[in-house]
Amino acid sequence: DGGITQSPKYLFRKEGQNVTLSCEQNLNHDAMYWYRQDPGQGLRLIYYSQIVNDFQKGDIAEGYSVSREKKESFPLTVTSAQKNPTAFYLCASSLRAARGSYNEQFFGPGTRLTVL
């Protein structure tokens, strides 16, 4: 059963703590992405990776960090520097992120992070 998994579905953390969100895919996709979703704001790109050991900042990268040590995995760390971390976080992947590509982008089920 192929797809993207994100865990956990709900996550609670105290203010000032770093937290890491998991994203795994078994679709053999090269490109992976992290988005943040807030009510009325749509999907905003945090980071993306086109290949293992490489990643680029998106529109709202401040306060976040990522790694891409394996093709299947793209964890996102929400650091204490992120001022408003409470949000719904979505991971996605596509076969390629190449310029002008038509590759479909698949999304995971999301993780809802609440910082208390």
Q: Which string of x and - marks every residue 49-88 that binds other proteins (by CB under 8 A)?
A: ---------x------------------------------
Tell the smallest beta-carbon distance from residue 16 to other proteins (Å): 27
43 binding other proteins? (CB under 8 A): yes
Torsion region of 107: left, alpha or beta (phi above 0 gives left; psi -120 to 50 gives alpha): beta
Strand 31-38 relative to strand 87-94, pairing: antiparallel
Best CA proximity match to 105, nearest among 33, 7, 21, 46: 33
Which of 76, 78, 97, 113 touches other proteins (CB under 8 A)? 97
The neighbour count for residue 27, using CB atoms within 10 Å, is: 14
Applying CB under 8 A, the residues found at the interface with other proteins are 4, 33, 35, 40-45, 48, 58, 90, 92, 97, 99-102, 104-110, 112
